Structure 1
Amino acid sequence: MAAPNQDFNSFDRARFFVRYFNPALASLRQAQVQLHIPFVAAKRALRADAVGYFVADAFDASFFAPADAAAPTPAVLALGEALFKEPVLSGKAGRSCASCHVPSRAYTDGLKVNSSLLADAGLERNTPTLLNAALQPDQFYDSRVHYLEDQVHAVVSNKAEMGGQLSEAPALLRKKGTYAKLFAKAFANDKQPLTEHNIRRAVATYVRSLVRLNSRFDQYLRGDTTVVKPQEILGFNLFMGKAQCGTCHYMPLFSGTVPPLYDKTESEVLGVPATADTLHPKLDGDQGKFLLYGVAHQKHAFKTPTVRNAALTAPYMHNGVYQTLEQVMDFYNKGGGAGMGLDVPTQTLAEDQLNLTQTEQQAIIAFIKSLSDAREVAY
């Protein structure tokens, strides 16, 4: 499919997907329907009957949910959203999920790290976006839990984050007249709807509804070639080629969730510095996934996040060290921490410089901005 004299770097991947790959998938699906060949019944991350990887409903969030996850009915989603904004879950701390995951900030907070409930301290890590968190098999920067339901419990009970006790939350919520009715409507088949278990299920189901796969670049790959600019197409080709971003941020989710099964999420050691000082860099002290299991090669390893909506979620990295995408690109262009001269023996990012020009770096940033979902940009 490549034009004569094209090499790895010059290959137009965007054109290939629009003109050949996506139409081929659509034709295969059409042939399957016409021949009455049934779609695979087993639940998969990518829906078996999806027209392609870039349609808005290509992925099934329930694949990443536990067997007892609540169905995303309007009543459950309304309850989950209310609980997401409810400070009672934190007891007397006055903090809700929305205090750090602000909807108008693409479910981040715009801070390097948010303030801790403990005296004179900040939280250990930057607040990640919840957009598309449903489409990953592990949660938290160190991947310490699998399900959003478990993440809800961990965050609420963390003394530094929300400082609450879910076991006490039902009694507190009953004192607010509206919640008894909301729980009864959401979990009508339960003898006792207002429970700790259902609190976790409702909030997790709401977060699972925050799937955003309708950016301008998605629309482009569906065939609307008028919605992106040549610079953004160049940026995509660089992202997937010379810049090597796509070797960790796998398309179409552009995260560390690994295709084709999407049943695991990769972590990487990047050598992220403690400050943005490139002249005197110092390795950040957070040892990441190593703190969970003590595995040597996981020292300073963190889950690879999505770059979808990244233009809306600054600052960046697990410690919020970089305020701009330009700084992030400079870090990668230098070869990460090891490329900057830091001692990072377990670094998984290649330490060789990418030799990206300023024009190329700006093109990649333009592409990343094209991955912002239309609903989030509208805020």
Structure 2
Amino acid sequence: MGRRLFFDPQLSPDDSIQCASCHLPSDAFSDGRAVSIGFERRAGTRNTPSLLNVLSDEPNFWDGRRDRLDLAVLDPLVNRVEMGNHTLSEVVDRLSANTGYRQAFDEAFHEGDQSISETHLGTALATYIRSLPRSPNAYDRYEAGDVSALTPQAKAGLQLFMGKAECASCHDPKHGRFTDGRFHSSGIGLGPAEGQLATLTTQALRDNQQGATLGSAIGSNAQLAALGRFLVTHLATDVGAFRTPSLRNVEQTPPYMHDGSITTLTAAIDEELYYRGLATGRPITLTANERDELLAFLRSLTSAPEANAHPAADGRSDLTPRAASGD
């Protein structure tokens, strides 16, 4: 059910945008753009993160404003920049007008006319995202005992990752996810808010927006978006702090950082080393050879694409196009 919804443009008011418009299976469920392009070709303010390896009970979005996946998946639907609906009830009404969806929701949730609801819509989409495969990569095979899975260059890069380069201090390899799930300020992306921090933080405290409302405000205001985690916690220490992304499939998801401002993986390495050195007071310098070794290791985190990550062509076309009769 969630898979059908994910690839269905009926979730937008004019049948122009689907979840997969910004989360492309071919790009590890990101979109290759600096920032997302949504409803009526409106540009957002943040880079589209990959949906692979998402957990149900971790902070969602770059600022962590949702801690439940089944709620997080609904926010883009009512984000005026992303999918353009004013309310979730609009989406429910459109789906309810489709005979195929009425039958499919009832088969999935067994609640008759009540089967199509905001709650079940979120449950279905979240279930699909959790089902996306986490295919083993070269690092996984190496950790499982295949010492030949990593090249000598990548093995040297792993040592740098865990040691001299200090990457693992935030990109924790525990459970193979390469993120600590926490929020850090790297100094990147505060440009739009420069000279306006006092005004912007005061505005954020006054408005105290949350959830989907906060998401819409962030999507249409780059200055506000630059405040990061502060918009959720209202803690001064969280100004400019963003969630540590997973590095799995990182080679497939350029550009990088929350604002998509870093175009290549090599440049992202250099930026991360520079700001980590500033944060710790210990500059981190890698030779050209060491940088290549670290890059080789990061590339070993790429998984092979999975055919079942794409929508099924099973002939049930009645679930996608909306007929003129509303049926």
Under TM normalisation by the shorter chain, which class is it? 0.7 to 0.9
Out of 245, 268, 282, the position equivalent to 2:167 is 245
Q: Which runs of 5+ in 2 are unaligned?
A: 192-196, 198-221, 310-327
Instruction: Describe the shift of the 1:174–1:135 C-alpha distance in structure 2 as closer, same or farther (beyond 3 A).
Output: closer
Equivalent pairs counted in the alignment come to 276
Instruction: Describe the shift of the 1:297–1:177 C-alpha distance in structure 2 as closer, same or farther (beyond 3 A).
Output: same
Secondary structure at the counterpart of residue 74 of structure 2: helix
Q: Tell me, in whole angstroms, the C-alpha distance in 1 between the residues paired with 2:95 and 2:306.
A: 30
Q: Superposed, which structure 2 residues align to 1:122-271 within 5 Å? A: 122-134=43-55, 137-164=58-85, 165-188=87-110, 192-212=114-134, 214-252=136-174, 253-257=176-180, 265-271=181-187
Greater relative CO, 1 or 2 (CA 8 Å, sep 6+): 2
Q: What's the offset of the Cα at 1:192?
A: 2.5
Write the letter of the residue equivalent to 1:235: G
Q: What's the offset of the Cα at 1:163?
A: 1.4
Q: Superposed, which structure 2 residues align to 1:354-369 within 5 Å? A: 354-369=284-299
Out of 238, 241, 262, the position equivalent to 1:322 is 262
Q: Tell me the residue number matched to 1:353.
A: 283
Secondary structure at the counterpart of residue 335 of structure 1: helix
8 A Cα contact 1:141 1:302, kept in partner: yes
Out of 72, 81, 90, the position equivalent to 2:3 is 81
Q: Tell me the residue number matched to 2:316.
A: none
Q: What's the offset of the Cα at 1:355?
A: 1.0
What are the superposed Cα offsets for residues 91-112 of structure 1, whole Å, 9 maximum, x if unpaired?
A: 2262111110011111000000
Q: Tell me the residue number matched to 2:318.
A: none
Q: Tell me, in whole angstroms, the C-alpha distance in 1 between the residues paired with 2:228 and 2:294.
A: 27
Root-mean-square deviation (CA, aligned residues, Å) is 2.5
8 A Cα contact 1:133 1:211, kept in partner: no
What are the superposed Cα offsets for residues 2-38 of structure 1, whole Å, 9 maximum, x if unpaired?
A: xxxxxxxxxxxxxxxxxxxxxxxxxxxxxxxxxxxxx
8 A Cα contact 1:87 1:95, kept in partner: yes
Larger relative helix fraction: 2
Matched residues, percent identical?
35
What are the superposed Cα offsets for residues 224-252 of structure 1, whole Å, 9 maximum, x if unpaired?
A: 22222011111111101110000111113
What are the superposed Cα offsets for residues 170-193 of structure 1, whole Å, 9 maximum, x if unpaired?
A: 221133332122212211366622
Q: What's the offset of the Cα at 1:374?
A: 2.1
